[in-house]
Amino acid sequence: MAAHPVSPLAPATYPELPAIPGVRFATAEAGIKYKNRTDVLLCTFEPGTVVAGVLTRSKCPSAAVDWCREHLAGGAARALLVNSGNANAFTGRKGREAVALSAQIVSDALGVPEETIFLASTGVIGEPLPAEKFAGVTDALVSRQAEGPWMDAAKAIMTTDTFPKLASATVEFDGVEVCISGIAKGSGMIAPDMATMLSFVFTDAPIAPELLQRLLQPAIDMSFNAVTVDSDTSTSDTCLVFATGKAPIAPITTAADPRAQVFADALFDVLHALAIHVVRDGEGATKMVSVNVEGATDDASANRIARSIANSPLVKTAIAGEDANWGRVVMAVGKSGEPADRDLLSIRFGDLVVAEAGERAAGYDEAATSAYMKGEDLSITVDIGLGQGRATVYTCDLTHGYISINGSYRS
């Protein structure tokens, strides 16, 4: 598959993520699918590292997702092996054999239990994963383990991504700085039903695995579960958080500890930044769009309406064409199946009121609205007028580039 131009929404600069005590990693070229680029990431964790995770709710999950789901309950992690180019999904018995072989190869190389090894794969669905190729690079991966640079790790897990995705945050407890750093990949097949395509977060916080798991889901709901590129949920969606416990502070073991909420807020900041990067790298995207719904009967209804708007091909193509077609927004509200009253609706593009009281706004300015639509970062706000429910979903436009990328994905 040929490389695609870097998204016009790519960041101008990338953060230099700090080393996380207790985490080391290396990348390699295994030739899983791609040539002349890294496609394998191996992270190793010192004893005492705990893990929490949220996995796709797709009814057709990958073999790696099944493996992670089986071993997350143990709460302990010593390694993470990720490959790009092959999702190892819909591969039946061969897929299960591939994850078992992958774990065995890493276990033998590191001398750690297989149940403490976590796996993730991304790429083409339906092709058997040649896990034996990991054996050819594992010794080199182990010998080259280092604390950075994280950019190498972010690049190794990319598929149709046009830029790497990294984010970091720090918090201070008792004068000690605690770091949270993460990487992600995702560009298409993005309408997460848990997380994103793949995301891995690392921290030196000493935190109980049960509490880490409890804090992760709300952060996922407000970040990765609030984005959509094309309404398609991946078979491989995986978000794993690894906590080494190396920061010299008292362990955080309960939600009643005031440090737990501070940590949760910083974790959300990292996940949200990564999720926004995924949308900004949506396949063929030229515009980033925040869809805000307010005045719905409740938050859940607002979320469903926002998703109806954000996933509408007609809304997304109008945005791509810089067409201030608020009628398509009305259509998407109406088809959502949620409580709405035509005569109470109001719609804003940015700060510009385009419709209210069930019709075009009296002060509607076509020239001003068209000028607004030429921007790269847009917002659409819909007030349903029925209650206090509100939600925000992040999406991008739908261009010819999306078709070009996905029309030849396997080639």
235 annotated as belonging to a binding site for a ligand: no
Task: Order the strands of the 198-203 sheet from edge to edge.
Answer: 50-55, 238-243, 198-203, 176-185, 165-173
Tell the residue number behind the tokens 């000493």, with chain if given. 206
411 annotated as belonging to a binding site for a ligand: yes
297 annotated as belonging to a binding site for a ligand: no
* Residue 377 main-chain phi, psi, to 5 deg: -115, 115
Q: What span, in angstroms and rounded, lies between the C-alpha atoms of 252 and 216?
A: 14
Sign of CA dihedral 100, 103, 106, 112: negative
**Who contacts 312 (Cβ-Cβ below 8 Å, separation ≥6)?**
328, 331, 332
185 annotated as belonging to a binding site for a ligand: yes
325 annotated as belonging to a binding site for a ligand: no
Catalytic residue among 44, 56, 160, 196: 196
C-beta separation of 195 from 224 below 8 A: yes
Residue 196 annotated in active site: yes
C-beta separation of 216 from 53 below 8 A: yes
Q: What span, in angstroms and rounded, lies between the C-alpha atoms of 119 and 244?
A: 18
Stated length of the chain: 411
Q: What span, in angstroms and rounded, lies between the C-alpha atoms of 272 and 279?
A: 11
Hey, which residues does 379 pair with through a beta bridge?
Answer: 290
Tell the residue number behind the tokens 């509100």, with chain if given. 390
Output the known binding site for substrate: 159, 185, 196, 283, 406, 411
Output the known binding site: 159, 185, 196, 283, 406, 411
Catalytic residue numbers, as ranges: 196
